[in-house]
Amino acid sequence: MVETGFRVTSKGLLNSDDYLIEVEAPIVSERIRPGQFVVFMTHENGERIPMSVQKTEDGKITMLIKKLGKTSLELFDYEVGDSLYAVIGPMGNATPIKRYGNIVWGSDLVCGYAENWAHCNALRGVEGNYVISMQTFPSKEDVYLEEELRAVSDEYYITTLDGSYGRKGHYLDILEELLDEGRVDIVFACGDIGRMRDLARLTEKYGVPARVVLRQIMVDATGMCGSCRVFIDGEMKLTCIDGPMFDAHKVDFDEVINRLGMFKDAEGKAKERYQRQRGNR
Amino acid sequence: MARVPMPEQPVEERMSNFHEVPLGYSPEQAIKEAKRCLQCGESQCTVNCPVEVDVKKFLKELSEGRFREAFLTIKESNPIPAIAGRVCPQEDQCEGACTLGRVGSPINIGKLESFLGDWAMENGVEEDFSIQEIPQKVAVIGSGPSGISCAVDLRKKGYQVTVYEALHKAGGVLQYGIPEFRLPKKVVDEELSNLKKIGVDLMLNTIIGQNLSFEELREEYDAIFICTGAGAPRFLGIQGEELNGVYSANEFLIRTNLMKAYKFPEEYDTPIVVGDKVAVVGAGNVAMDAARCAMRMGAEVTMVYRRTRKESPARLEEVHHALEEGLNLMELVNPVRIVGENGWVKGVELIRMMLGEPDDTGRRRPHPVEGSEFMIEFDTFIEAIGTSPNRLFLERAEGLEVNRWGGILIDENLQTSIEGVFSGGDAISGGATVIQALGEGRKAAKSIHEYLRTARAPKEYK
């Protein structure tokens, strides 16, 4: 009952920043449910990084990752056959997969797309659910997962911020139209934290429930450090063991956004350092 | 005759590294110190030891240069001498009871214990015993001090023991909590490697209640020992705790010790942000550890404590070292709120306290002095006000009864509300010492042995 190996079985760029990586992790693969996440470490001295899992297959998990900091750059440099130090999970709570009615699932960032697919894939199987997926990308060349998401949704919308593909703008514009039409029973979202704040305000205005997946900074991800604390209706909750999904209307987004920036300078330094070293190789 | 002084890293030198502060006795110094033992009849040192190490005997052997025998004498009661010698509050235990202490300084039992532990490691000296296999299986949840001692004792009796650890390194608080300069991780890893050597299975990255359920464990094992510790941080619950620059001591220490953030970004990838002026709330061992880590990362550290130094529950040596290293200990103050600027800690409002009647710990209870609030500027705020049992496991362990603050309820044999499931260490006590946890691990091993011997036939094994 011990998980070893964590061999990379497939890897590929999705756009200029985002990549897909498939890793062997049989236990996680068998047990993870939508909403739950993993913590991975590239090597023994690495960070513990919480990460969404898009899908699982034959003892393998697929993660979608943005080349953002040192660890994500480093992982992208792993070749098929290389092994990660650890993939730990499933962590966090599974989202109840039940009848919600008309569901909108919105995403505008890498982890969001993964969560979007994982959830819709499960939610669509429940009788009485009608799943509407929405994706937003900056531009046409950034688009990925469109076909896959269409396949697990009853209705699908795509927007680009520059209008080069799909509708111009953010999916929140389309969401607002659907809310106007009274077609939405619940909204789920994961992605850009600022836009999730907008989403919370918008849905609150219409009195429609909304759930957001938060990705706060974690260390152990087992409830020990308190780094991922958020305030839900004024009460301290830990994203790792109480979340990662919360009622959007109760989240203090300003505080969440602020805490996400705590290690920005340090992370920037580590990234630069890695890029410099990599360039020298 | 006075105590043989312990050579230490000079203050100015140690503030720029995380190496151990005491440099350890040489064999000659150790023998000399052990010779001071009066070999008195009382052996209060042993009586006062939570695991009843035969101190008198090992000191005698050590004083005669018989290191191997001395080491094995300790090992009979304590599976991790190199660790315990470094972290036990000896002044409250063996050394506190030493007859020599009445007239001068007690024997430095702690340092002699760790000397022997280190010596054995360096010379590859190990206990000699044979294991008669028993098919019954025991799961130990947590690889901290009580888990280690329980696993070792049960394995020696022949049981098939598996230790489950949530983190990527074994040792629990020894690994994530206690800093390198107090307990080198090499020592922890080395003493833990003994587990594997005697055939204990160690499963890292396995979180019971999360990726493996308690029910699955109950189905598979004949008995379970829960030693999940008290890993959940407590927060003061004051305004401003959401600010950047506010850490639980747990987070600060996990980043520093487990993730080695002080070697970021050169060798390790986990960052830590430490400001120039750091406040640490609390004055226990954890507070001292956090403060001393912060000072080594270049900060000026003020400890804000609602009582006085006299009431501090920290080990004497830690207080002594911390003050030597420049800690500013501010007594009789308590934080009221944390003030921020641009999302970061800017300062702390404190209120003066005064001591009243003793509480149930025997320490005088602090009361706020009305209207005495004042502000001090800080850019980092670390809360070391205690921990609670981790609710992740407790919430998912059906049928396991806990008390009001989440401590697992046990009977006199450490058995929980579930038959065959035992518990010990901080999971039941909420936050005690390494050696107490170790003692409970040993006691649990005895109870589990008794239970398995008498209560039931082994499960069917596939």
Residue B187 CA to residue B446 CA, distance in Å, equals 27
pLDDT-based confidence at residue B460 (cuts at 50, 70, 90) = low
The one-letter code for the residue type at A192 is: D
Rounded Cα–Cα distance for residues A26 and A34 (Å) = 16
Phi, psi of A50 (to 5 degrees): -75, 140
Question: Which residue among B168, B235, B390 places its CB closest to the CB of A41?
Answer: B168
CB contact under 8 A, B211 and A89: yes
**CA distance readout (Å), B22 to A269, B59, B78, B115, B384:** 34, 20, 22, 11, 24
Q: Is residue B342 part of a domain?
A: yes
B151 token code pair: 């696993």
pLDDT(A93) > 70: yes
Residue with tokens 């911020």: A161
Structural domain harbouring A166: 102-260
- Mean pLDDT on B64-88: 94
Of B136, B115, B144, residue with least CA distance to B28: B115
Contact A236 B204 (CB under 8 A): no
Query: Which one of A222, A242, A255, A259 would you mutate to disrupt binding with B, by most B Cβ within 10 Å of its Cβ?
Result: A222
* Cβ count within 10 A of residue B185: 18
Q: What's the domain range around B224?
A: 137-231+388-454
Read out DSSP for B196-237? HHTT-EEETT--BTTTB-HHHHHHH-SEEEE-----EEP---
User: What pLDDT, on a 0 to 100 scale, did the predictor assign at position A1?
Assistant: 40
Domain boundary (A63, A91, A119) is at A91
Considering the domain boundaries, does residue B416 fall inside one? yes
Whether residues A83 and A129 fall in one domain = no
Q: Is residue B132 part of a domain?
A: no
Co-location of B99 and B55 in the same domain: yes
Contacts of B109 (CB under 8 A, 6+ apart): B45, B55, B59, B90, B94, B95, B98
Please state, in angstroms and as integers, the Cα–Cα distance from residue B214 to each residue in A31, A145, B207, following that order.
15, 37, 10
**DSSP-assigned letters across all residues of chain A:** ------BEEEEEESSSSEEEEEEE-HHHHHH--TT-EEEEESSTTS--EEEE--EEETTEEEEEEE--SHHHHHHHTPPTT-B-SEEEEEESPPPP-S--SEEEEEE-SHHHHHHHHHHHHHHTTSTT-EEEEEEEESSGGG--SHHHHHHT-SEEEEEETTSSSSEES-HHHHHHHHHHTT--SEEEEES-HHHHHHHHHHHHHHT--EEEE-----SSSSSSS-TTEEEETTEEEEHHHH-SEEEGGGB-HHHHHHHHTTTHHHHHHHHHHHHHHHHH-
Verify that B239 and B347 share a domain, yes or no.
yes
- CATH code at position A211: 3.40.50.80
Q: Which positions in chain B touch A91 (Cβ < 8 Å)?
A: 207, 210-211
For A170-199, what is each residue's pLDDT tens digit?
999 999 999 999 999 999 999 999 999 999
Ordered strands of the A210-213 beta sheet: A167-168, A155-160, A130-137, A102-107, A186-190, A210-213, A245-247
Peptide bond into B368 cis (omega under 30): no
Taking the CA of residue B164 and the nearest CA in chain A, the distance in Å comes to 10
- Whether A58 and A134 map to the same domain: the answer is no
Tens digits of per-residue pLDDT, B272-320?
Answer: 999 999 999 999 999 999 999 999 999 999 999 999 999 999 988 899 9
Is B366 an interface residue toward A (CB < 8 Å)? no
> Judged by CB atoms within 8 Å, which residues 184-213 of B form the interface with A?
203-207, 210-212
Confidence of residue B462 (pLDDT cuts 50, 70, 90): very low
- Domain match, A70 and A143 both: no
Cα(A153)–Cα(A103) distance, rounded to whole angstroms?
10
Beta strand pairing call for A167-168 and A86-91: unpaired
Per-residue pLDDT at B457: 58
CATH code of the domain in which B395 resides: 3.50.50.60
Q: Could you give the number of structural domains in chain A?
A: 2
Contact B25, B112 (CB under 8 A): yes
Distance CA A261, CA A121 (A): 32
| Whether pLDDT at B432 is above 90 | no
> Could you say which of B325, B353, B385 is where a domain stops?
B385
Share of chain A above pLDDT 90, in %: 96
| Residue B243 sits at the chain A interface (C-beta within 8 Å) | yes
User: Is A174 in contact with A157 (CB distance < 8 Å)?
Assistant: yes
SS3 readout for A216-236? CCCCCCCCCCCCCEEEECCEE
How far does A33 lie from chain B, in Å, by closest CA?
Answer: 11
Considering only CA atoms, which of B149, B162, B413 is closest in space to residue A1?
B162
How far apart CA A46 and CA A87 sit, in angstroms, is: 12
Task: Quote the ipTM score.
Answer: 0.94
Determine whether the interchain pair A31/B211 forms a contact, defined as Cβ–Cβ distance below 8 Å.
yes
Number of domains, chain B? 3
Cα-atom radius of gyration of chain B, to the nearest Å? Answer: 23
The verdict on A190 and A146 lying in the same domain is: yes
What is the pLDDT at residue A280?
Answer: 60
CA distance B393 to A223: 10
Chain A with chain B: Cβ pairs closer than 8 A: 126
Closest CB to B265 among A220, A226, A269: A269
Residues A204 and A177 in one domain: yes
Cβ within 8 Å, pair B265-A270: yes
Q: Please provide the average confidence, as pLDDT, over all residues in chain B.
A: 93
pLDDT per residue as tens digits for the range A132-152: 999 999 999 999 999 999 999
Give the pLDDT band of residue B105 (cuts 50, 70, 90). very high
Q: Tell me, what's the pLDDT at A240?
A: 96
Q: Are residues B376 and B246 in the same domain?
A: yes
